[in-house]
């Protein structure tokens, strides 16, 4: 092997597609770089969906296993991370449908709480945040996915549609219905401050 070949093989700036090509050409260790790039994001997304560290860890590992096994079928019509998100979301939705028990999806109070009255103590804030989590937990799986991908991962409707395998219109509808359902839940509770409802 020439010095030039060694330099090429030791590059750290391969694109995702270049790493995939290397894996398919027999450099299996290159997949470890893809895992390293996306393991935190995949775990974060998975945990937001199932709200259980152990289950999120298992689902994250399963995501990368399925990605590795499916690399040859990856047609590259989207980015690798979009394809990876799609695998992640599908696994989470299947998991939630099978489990059918309540899961907590923690929502940062900063997302929904604006200028919350200073007279409320930390305990009340935590209780309120838990109610938000409970409300999101009751959403249908695809509405939950739309909320999480949009709010926490900052993805566009188009990117979410690629991940969920549906039209942009369907994503917007899921997101709209999710927000409306959350607003209905909070509007029905007199104990929830109106600033939260308005923010939704």
Last residue of a domain, one of 103, 120, 153: 103
| Helix ranges (DSSP H) in the chain | 3-9, 16-24, 30-50, 53-69, 80-99, 109-112, 122-137, 141-151, 157-164, 168-187, 194-199
Last residue of a domain, one of 69, 103, 137: 103
Residue 124 lies in a domain: yes
Phi, psi of 120 (to 5 degrees): -80, 135
- Domain around 80: 13-103
**For residues 71-97, average pLDDT:** 91
2-59 pLDDT, tens digit per residue, is 444 544 555 568 999 999 999 999 999 999 999 999 999 999 999 888 888 999 999 9
Distance CA 69, CA 74 (A): 10
Check whether residue 64 and residue 17 sit in a common domain.
yes
121-158 pLDDT, tens digit per residue, is 555 556 666 777 777 778 888 999 998 898 878 899 99
Residue 3 lies in a domain: no
Tokens of 53: 């560290």
Check whether residue 116 and residue 176 sit in a common domain.
yes
Check whether residue 196 and residue 111 sit in a common domain.
yes
Check whether residue 72 and residue 135 sit in a common domain.
no
More confident of the two residues 1 and 45 = 45
């Amino acid at each position: 092997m020439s010095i030039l070949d060694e330099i090429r093989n030791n590059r750290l700036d391969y694109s995702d597609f270049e790493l995939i090509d290397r894996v398919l050409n027999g450099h299996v260790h290159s997949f470890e770089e893809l895992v390293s790039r996306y393991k935190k994001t995949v775990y974060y997304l998975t945990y937001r969906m199932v709200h259980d560290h152990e289950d999120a860890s298992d689902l994250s590992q399963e995501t990368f296993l399925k990605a590795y096994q499916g690399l040859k079928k990856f047609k590259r019509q989207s980015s690798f991370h979009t394809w990876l998100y799609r695998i992640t979301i599908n696994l989470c939705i299947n998991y939630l449908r099978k489990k059918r028990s309540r899961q907590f999806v923690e929502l940062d109070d900063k997302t929904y709480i604006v200028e919350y009255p200073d007279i409320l103590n930390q305990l009340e804030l935590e209780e309120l945040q838990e109610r938000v989590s409970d409300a999101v937990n009751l959403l249908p799986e695809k509405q939950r996915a739309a909320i999480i991908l949009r709010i926490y991962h900052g993805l566009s409707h188009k990117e979410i549609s690629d991940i969920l395998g549906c039209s942009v219109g369907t994503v917007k509808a899921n997101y709209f219905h999710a927000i409306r359902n959350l607003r209905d839940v909070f509007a029905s509770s007199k104990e929830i401050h109106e600033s939260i409802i308005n923010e939704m």
